[in-house]
């Protein structure tokens, strides 16, 4: 840091020192003091002007950066750039532009950029260790962009977070949960962790387990379930997916459990899941099919 300061004031300080030394040697102390005060005021005013200019330049450059980011975003939209790539590029461009602003402000303050870069390079190892997490997140972002395990708009389950990918940035991925919470997930852990992408495939299988009481007519319950599936327009019935599957999966302690498996479009998964549960409850009740609940029979034997 001393080298940076020396590069800023060395010429002025040398001149002041020389003039002050000459005045003292000649015994003219008043002139020496006057020279120090005058030069000090000049240097203070000069540095204050540089600070003022740097502040003005900062706000102007920030305005320019904002406009450039907006222009870049419009350009990506005009070219119909993939939303995943678009968010990553916008984040990268914003960081580069802000770094340029810092360099310009440093130059206006009179600090030699070469000295600044040298100072920054000399501390590179320490900075690299301090930013190891950020560098890992940056590498993770690059890996996500390269291998594309997910994209903007996909519904994910990862890092104990479930939601829709809202934005993929250079260091983080923004996920919007189903209850409208914004979660920022670092790309480092995201790129190396387990990801369940529910939107990757166009079709999904919905699994249900419905219970009937012992003694109930299984064929009747199966017929009711099959009829409900056939009437549901969201359940796929084409040749490219397996037909709806209905079977007894378990003879439980208080119930006979029936498994139902159907295929739907991925976007219709939850609609089918909730609607089917509601329809089965209503239809079983209407048809007189008893839905059991956990119970225990207690037999008391009297001994003499």
- In tens, the pLDDT along 66-91 reads 888 888 888 878 777 777 777 777 88
pLDDT-wise least confident of 72-81, 165-174, 179-188: 72-81
Residue 256: other Cβ atoms inside 10 A: 19
Residues 235, 263 contacting (CB under 8 angstroms)? yes
From CA 186, how far away is CA 190, in angstroms rounded? 6
Q: Which of 241, 193, 221 is nearest to 286 (CA)?
A: 221
Q: Which of 257, 203, 269, 198 is nearest to 232 (CA)?
A: 269
Choose between 112 and 197: higher pLDDT: 197
Domain boundaries, the chain: 2-122, 142-197, 203-287
Residues 43, 9 contacting (CB under 8 angstroms)? yes
Which CATH number does 142-197 carry? Answer: 2.30.30.60
Alpha helix positions (H), the chain:
2-25, 29-78, 83-108, 113-122, 124-130, 132-147, 187-192, 218-231, 269-287
The pLDDT of residue 249 is above 90: yes
The pLDDT of residue 138 is above 50: yes
Q: Which of 90, 91, 120, 116 is nearest to 103 (CA)?
A: 116
Cross-strand partners of 259: 209, 247
The pLDDT of residue 191 is above 50: yes
Fold of the domain spanning 203-287: Alpha-Beta Plaits (3.30.70)
Q: Is 2 helix (H, G, I), strand (E, B) or coil?
A: helix
Average pLDDT (172-189) is 93
Model pTM score: 0.57
From CA 68, how far away is CA 168, in angstroms rounded? 20
pLDDT at position 25: 56
Would 142-197 and 203-287 be classified into the same CATH topology?
A: no
Average pLDDT, the chain: 81
Structure tokens, 12: 């002025």
């Amino acid at each position: 840091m001393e080298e940076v300061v020396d590069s800023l004031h060395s010429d002025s300080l040398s001149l002041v020192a020389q003039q002050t030394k000459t005045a003292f040697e000649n015994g003219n102390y008043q002139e020496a003091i006057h020279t120090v005060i005058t030069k000090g005021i000049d240097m203070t005013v000069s540095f204050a002007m540089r600070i003022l200019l740097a502040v003005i330049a900062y706000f102007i450059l920030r305005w320019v950066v904002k406009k450039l980011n907006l222009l870049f975003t419009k350009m990506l939209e005009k070219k119909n750039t993939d939303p995943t790539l678009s968010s990553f590029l916008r984040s990268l461009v914003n960081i580069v532009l802000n770094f340029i602003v810092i360099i310009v402000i440093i130059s206006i303050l009179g600090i030699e950029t070469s000295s600044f870069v040298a100072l920054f390079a000399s501390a590179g190892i320490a900075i690299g260790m301090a930013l190891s997490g950020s560098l890992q997140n940056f590498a993770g972002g690059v890996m996500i962009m390269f291998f594309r395990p997910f994209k903007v708009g996909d519904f994910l389950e990862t890092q104990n977070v479930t939601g829709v990918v809202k934005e993929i940035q250079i260091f983080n991925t923004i996920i919007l949960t189903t209850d409208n919470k914004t979660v920022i997930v670092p790309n480092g852990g995201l790129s190396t962790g387990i990801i369940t992408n529910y939107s990757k495939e166009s079709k999904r299988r919905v699994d249900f387990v419905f219970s009937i009481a012992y003694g109930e007519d299984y064929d009747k319950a199966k017929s009711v379930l099959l009829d409900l599936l056939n009437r549901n327009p969201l359940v796929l019935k084409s040749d490219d997916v397996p037909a709806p599957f209905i079977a007894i999966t378990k003879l439980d302690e208080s119930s006979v459990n029936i498994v139902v498996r159907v295929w739907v479009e991925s976007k219709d998964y939850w609609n089918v899941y909730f609607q089917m549960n509601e329809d089965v409850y209503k239809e079983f009740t209407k048809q007189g099919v008893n839905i059991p609940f956990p119970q225990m029979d207690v037999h008391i034997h009297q001994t003499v």
